[in-house]
Every structure is written in structure tokens, then in C-alpha cells.
Structure 1
Amino acid sequence: MDICPPEQLRGKAYCASDLYSLGGTLLYLLTHRSPDELPQKRMKIDFRSCVQISPQFANWLEKILEPMFEDRFQSAAQALNALQNNSEIISSPDSSIQSVHKKPKGSRVKIQKTSKSLVVDIPPAGFRSQDLFLWIFNVLWNGFLLLVFISGGIQVLFSPVIFHVIVGVVMLGFLLWTSASKTRIQIDTNEFSVSWKCLLFSRKSQGKTADLDKISINETGITSNRNPVMNCALFEGIKKHQFGSLLVREEQEWLVAEISDFLGQLKSR
């Protein structure tokens, strides 16, 4: 039985072509029918009604049977990794690509990946128990200064108290940023952007995807108890686009691996 991927009909073959043939062989073993005898929908083999397998395995099998080789796994290692880790497939109108690295349990980070684009959404961290003391202290601090301002009027602005007001505002801004800010990373074949938004404030950095050298976990400082502060960083020459400082290390490693794989796939084309 010869199960030929579509690109071989045009005289081309890739690593993903062998995976298509593997998928066709598996379909034959599961259905005892040649894949070309099975129903098709939008050029894809619609095999789900003909087999009794787990949804996870069906998603994996559907992935290696994508008509366009760019939309399949790009290596046997990726396919095996996804199958062993039971990674999720994220639906997208533009042919989704399998997340080959297992998403950390409980993570609220969302990745949408196609053959041509990747979008990462990091939601606000929300209220964190470790910030409780800072919130209480900030409320008391700013509440006291407000009383001083009401009693002292405009003269407070020209007194040493103004320094304490600035400290209180900066502290409040930090707490709002850590609890309410969200981040979006967008990368396509031509351009990339990293944007942050917190309430009415937003910031965005962007550049050419071809100028990105790598992505890695980056140390940004040391806490009072000598623990390093880490985040993710996209390197554009000497320029760093940093994000994800509030994610746990496991999430950062997963996110860096996913983005690194995507950038590698773009450069290999």
C-alpha cells in the first residue's frame, strides 16, 4: 500500500512527508481501508467517524495528516514528544500547529500558533497573597498622607511630605502593575511585538523578526532574600524585549521553549 503525501505529487519531500505516510499507515491499520477511500473535508481526511480512539490520539493523528506539510510536525522527535506528553492542540482559523512542550499545570498563559504566526497572551496575575502586606502598608501610608494633605492644603506640596507622597504613588503603581497588567507577544514571518497594558496605560516595543537572535530566561536582579528575579527576554542584537517576570520558572521555561521552536521553524524555511 503506497500512501503518498500531497507534496510528493509535486516532486518534493520533507521530514514531515514521512509523518504523513505514517499517519496513512495508522489509518489503514485502524480502519482496514485505504485512506483515499475515507471521507474528506476541505482536503483533509475526515477519519474521526470511522475510528474509535481517544480524542488526544485523534488530534495527534489529524496533525500528521495535514495536507500542507508546514502544518504538520516538522520532525519525528516533535511528533513523539507531543504524543508522549499529550500536548494540547490550539484551534486557529489558519491551520494550528501542535504545542510540542507540555503546558505547566494550572498555567493561564495562552498560546495560539500557526505555521506563520505565534501569539502569546499572559493574563494579569491578580491579587497575590505575598503582596498582602504591601497592600495593607500602602493603604495605611497613602491614607495617612491624604489626611496630612487635607489638613495642610497646598502648603504640603512645598514641604518634605511631598517625598513621602511620591513614594506612596510609586508603591501603588507597582502593586497595580503586578496585579492588573497583561502582556501579549506577537510574532509572524516579518514583524514581532511585545505589548503591555495595565488599566488605561499601555506600552509596546516591536521590530523585525529577522533581527531576533534568540530567546532565553534572563536574570534581572536579586530580591532581598538573595533569590534571583527572572523573566523571559527576546534578544534583538543588544536590545532585550523582556516579559513574564511574574510567571513561575516552569512557565517561563515552557514559554521560552515554545517561542524558540517557532523562531527556529521560521528560520529553517
Structure 2
Amino acid sequence: MVQLTTVSVVIPVLDDGPHLRRCLRALAAQTTVADEIVVVDNASTDDSADIARAAGARVVFCGERGIPAAAAAGYDAAHGDLILRLDADSIPEPTWVASMVDALSDPAVDAVTGGAVFHDGPVAGRVALSRAFLGTYAAFAFPALGHTPLWGSNMAFRRRAWNAVRSEVHVDPELHDDLDLAYHLGRRHRIRFVPGRHMRVSSRTVEPRRFVRCFRRGAGTVFAHWPGDLPPARWARLVRRRATHAGRAREVGAPGESRGSRSGAAR
């Protein structure tokens, strides 16, 4: 009997009711509907939790302020085989869930992330500004990680991958949870970028004060992983791991070997 893959969507929220309502409406209109939506109420003082319940979402309370703690609480509470993450001010296109599930149908991939276009701000500059913002993030994060970074407004990963690193991640509110998760997942798991315009997000991230805070938290996240993950050392470990995996793949695929002999060699 074929085991169907189950999907959870996790949304951390703090006093963002109007945006959350729009996000939940977009999730209800997906071509592939998630099995559950988990909204993590990060001690909101507005009606965010009520909005989530009215939309049929499961609400999890997290009293420890900050996206890292709230996101981790949501991942821990999720029941799905796949955990999809976006923010309350995200508006997923109808194909978003399907695109994430399809990308994770590759058993060699454990986490995926995508881009986005701003849904507010000056219409003429939305595409260019969103590309500049995400391009800056990638240019900063990729050299630090040595692989594709994760972006919390549009990402997904296997629950078993989360369980493998959940005790390692930081919950400091002054760090970026998505970049931190990429550090931990990227050590032993493959992260892939999903092309296409499947997500729209708010441009408020690029407001001067928010952008400065965003950059400060990004730098803080990188420094939190030093000296153990200084780029030269991290890159060297990743290269060795990839070479080892490639060697094992060639060994498994070598002609003239029986299944039993390969298993014995692997042990």
C-alpha cells in the first residue's frame, strides 16, 4: 500500500492579524491543500489567534518572544511528513504547496526554498526591488554557508530532517532562524532552490530601519556559528562529504556487484 505524504504549513505570527487573514485565504485556495496549518501565536495582543482558529488552523502558543522560538515551536507541533514555512505577511500563489511537495519528491533533497515578489509598495519597482533584496541575501549567505540558504518566507523541509537538528538550532530572537536552520541542515542534508514565482511577500522588510535590523541579525547569525563554521573549514567539510556521497553512489551503481556484496561493503 502506498504511503501518502502529509503536509503541514507553519506560520509564526505576532500582532499581524490583517496580513495573517490574507495569508490563510491564499492557503485555502491552493491546488494542493495542506493537511494542517499550524499558526504559532507568539504572545500576540491582537486577534491573530482568533483569525487563525476561524480559518480552521491549529493554534500553538509560544510565550518566548522571537521568530526563532516561535518557528521551532511550530515545527515541533507539526504532524506532517513535510513542513512548509511562510510568514504571516506572505501570500502564496495557488501552486505554492504543490511546488514545494513536488520539489521534495526527490528523495535526495531534504529542504527547499524559493524566491518571491513584493505584493505592496510602488508597483513599478516591486519586481526589481524584490530581486535586489533576495539577491543581496543570497550574495551574503551563500559564501558563508557554502550552499543554498533557506528563506523563511518560502521554504519547506522534511520533518525527519528537522528532528535531526532541532536540538542544535538557536532560539535567540536577535538571530535569523532561517539562516541558522540552513547552517544546521546544510551540514548533512541537501538544500535545493525552487524556481518560479510561487510567493508574494510584503516589502516592509526593506524599510530602512527594518533592513538595518535584518542585516544586523544576519551578521549575528553568521558569527554565532564561528569559529567552527568559518567558511574555509565549512567548505572543506562539505566538499569531503559530497565526495564521500559521490563515491558511495558510484560504488552502489558499479556493475557486477550483487546487492548482498554492496551491503556488506557498506557496513
| TM-score, normalisation: structure 1 | 0.25
If the length of structure 2 is used for normalisation, what is the TM-score? 0.25
- For CA contacts below 8 A with separation 6 or more, give which structure has more relative contact order: 2
Which is richer in strand?
Answer: 1
